[in-house]
Structure 1
C-alpha cells in the first residue's frame, strides 16, 4: 500500500464558533494538547500508514501552518520524490466547509497529473484521530468500491474519502458538466454512476468545529482511557520538534492531573489543565480546568477556572477569570488581561 496512496488534506475549513481562536491562523494550525497542532493527527495517520506524498490545500491565514510544517522534515516528507506540498486556494470567495473542493483542486491539476499513486485519501484537517488507513484500503479493494466514505459508528460522515486518483481527476475535469463541487456532492448523489461504499470507523475520532468541543476534547486528554487511544507507541503523533529546557517546578508549586510541556516555570497550583511550552505561572496563582497556550504569563495570585488563553497572553497579578465547561472564557492571542479589566 505504501506507494499506492496519495494524501490530500483540505485545510480550508472555517467555523464561526471558533473565531476567537482562528481569526489569525488556519484551523489546521490550532494548538492542541500542549505541544501539537490539530493537523498533526491526520498528517501523522497518513505518514504512519505509509503515505509519502501529501498535498495540503489551505485557504487563508496559513502562515502559521506553513511555519509549523516547514519542509515536512519531522514527518519524513522532505524528499526528492513526492513529499509535502502546499497549494493555497486562489479562490477568495467560496463555500467553506465543503471538503475536497473540485475548484480548488482544479487550480492545481499538475499535481494530480504527475502523481504516480493509484489512489488518493482525502481528509479534512480538523479531526483528532490516530487512524491506520491500511485496513480501509484493503476493505475498499475487496468490496470493489469506486469511492469509500469513512463514517463514525453513528453513521455521520467523517469527511474522509478513498478514491482512485484517475477517478478523482475525472470528477475534477467534469465538474461543470456534472454539477459536482466536492466529494460530498458525489457520495450523496443517489443517482451517481459509481459504487459508493461506507466504511464504519470504530476508533476514537472527534472533529473540532466549536470552542465548546475544542475545550471538552482537550480536557478528555487528561483521561488515561482517551490518551491511550490517541497516543500509540507504534503509531506516534508527530509534531514539530522544538528544543526547550525541562519545566521548572518551584518548591511551593502544586500540580494534579495536568499535561505540562517543556520550558515552563510553575510556581503556583495547576489542576486538570493543559499547559503549553514556555508558560510562566506565578506564586499563589491557581489554574483549574484550563488550556494555556504557548508563552503565556500568569502573574502572582491569579485565579483561572475553565479558561482558554491563546498564545502570548499576559494575565496581571490578582486577576480572577472563570468560565464553564460548556462556555470557557477565551482570551485572544497577545492580549493583556488585568484585574481592573474584568467585568
Structure 2
C-alpha cells in the first residue's frame, strides 16, 4: 500500500464526555494502556499497512500531540520523501459530527494535489484496534466503489477509503454540494456515488466518553483482548522513553494489573493500569483504577474505580471511590487531600 495509499487522520474531534481528560490535550493524545496514546493505534495500523505518507489534522490543544509524535521517528515516518505531516486548523466552524472537514482539507490542498498516492484513507483518531487495512484496499479496488466505509458490529467506524482524485473533487465542490465532511456524503440519500461497506470483525473500541474509556481500559486486563490488540507481527508503536524497570519495595503486592516502567510501588495494586513513573506509597490500596504518568499516591490511600490524570498528587490517607459505570476523575496536575475524601 506504500505507493498507493495516503493516510489522513482527523484529530479535530472533541467529545464532551471526555472533557475532563481533554482540558490540556487533544482527544488523539489521551493516554491509554499505560504507555500509549489513542492516536498510536490507527497510526500504527497505517504504518503496518506500509503507508508512508500520513497527514495529521489537529485542532484543539495539540501541543502534547505534536510532542508525542515528533518527527514520526518511532513510527518510521521521518523520511526525506513523504513521512509525517501536521496541518493544524485555524478555521472556526460550527458543530460538525463527521470525520474529515473539507474546509480544513481545502486550507491544505497542496498536500493532496502533490501526493502521488492513488488512494486516500481517512480515519478518526480515537478508535483502539489492530486493523489490517490491506483487505480494505483490495475490496475497494475489486468492487470499483467510490467510497468504502468501514463498519464494526453494524456501526460505522468513521473510516473511509476513496481515490485521492475523488477526495480532491469533493473538497473543491463542497460549497456547491453542501458536503462538509465524509459522513455528509455517505448519509445523503440523494447522492449518485457507489458506496460500499467493509465489515471489520476484529476487536475495536471507539473512545467517546469517560465510561467507554474506562471500560476499554479494563478490558485490556483480559488476556484475550490484550492478545487481539497487541500482536508481535502487527505491533502498536509509541514514543520510546528510556526509563528504568519498576521497583517493587517491601509491602508491595500487584495482581491482575498492567504496570509501566519507572514506577515505585510499596502498596497494593489490583485490577489496575499504572503508567510510567508513578509512585504508590506504603500501605496504599489501588483497585480497578487508571493512574497516569508521574502521579504520586501517598501512604495509606484507598482508591477504587478512579482515573488519575498525569502529575497528580494524592495526599496521605485520602480515600476516593467511584464505580465501573461512573469512575471518579482527577484532573491533570491537581492535588487531593485527606480532607477531600470522596
Provide the TM-score with structure 2 as the length reference. 0.99
Distance 1:301 1:342 in 2: 13
Could you tell me how far 1:97 is from its partner in structure 2?
3.4
Map of 1:214-253 to 2, 5 A cutoff?
214-253=213-252
Could you tell me how far 1:191 is from its partner in structure 2?
2.3
Map of 1:16-55 to 2, 5 A cutoff?
16-55=16-55
Q: Which residue is equivalent to 1:197?
A: 196
Q: Confirm or deny: 8 A CA contact 1:38 1:125 kept in the other structure.
A: yes
Distance 2:63 2:94 in 1: 20
Q: Which residue is equivalent to 1:207?
A: 206
Distance 1:342 1:254 in 2: 24
Cα deviations across residues 66-124 of structure 1 (Å, max 9, x unaligned)? 00000000000000000000000111333243201101100000000100000000000
For the residue of structure 2 that corresponds to 1:227, the secondary structure is helix
Q: Which residue is equivalent to 2:181?
A: 182
Q: Which residue is equivalent to 1:339?
A: 338
Q: Which residue is equivalent to 1:323?
A: 322
Q: Confirm or deny: 8 A CA contact 1:14 1:97 kept in the other structure.
A: no
For the residue of structure 2 that corresponds to 1:10, the secondary structure is strand
Distance 2:94 2:240 in 1: 34
Q: Confirm or deny: 8 A CA contact 1:264 1:278 kept in the other structure.
A: yes
Distance 1:179 1:112 in 2: 21
Name structure 2 gaps, 5 residues minimum: none
Could you tell me how far 1:18 is from its partner in structure 2?
0.6
Name structure 1 gaps, 5 residues minimum: none
Q: Which residue is equivalent to 1:125?
A: 125
Q: For this pair of structures, how many residues does the alignment match?
A: 342
Provide the TM-score with structure 1 as the length reference. 0.99
Could you tell me how far 1:132 is from its partner in structure 2?
0.5
Map of 1:134-173 to 2, 5 A cutoff?
134-153=134-153, 155-173=154-172
Q: Which residue is equivalent to 1:268?
A: 267
Could you tell me how far 1:24 is from its partner in structure 2?
1.1
Q: Confirm or deny: 8 A CA contact 2:25 2:63 kept in the other structure.
A: yes
Q: Confirm or deny: 8 A CA contact 1:262 1:278 kept in the other structure.
A: yes
Distance 1:96 1:17 in 2: 16
Q: Which residue is equivalent to 2:107?
A: 107
Could you tell me how far 1:292 is from its partner in structure 2?
0.1
Distance 1:333 1:262 in 2: 20
Q: Which residue is equivalent to 1:293?
A: 292
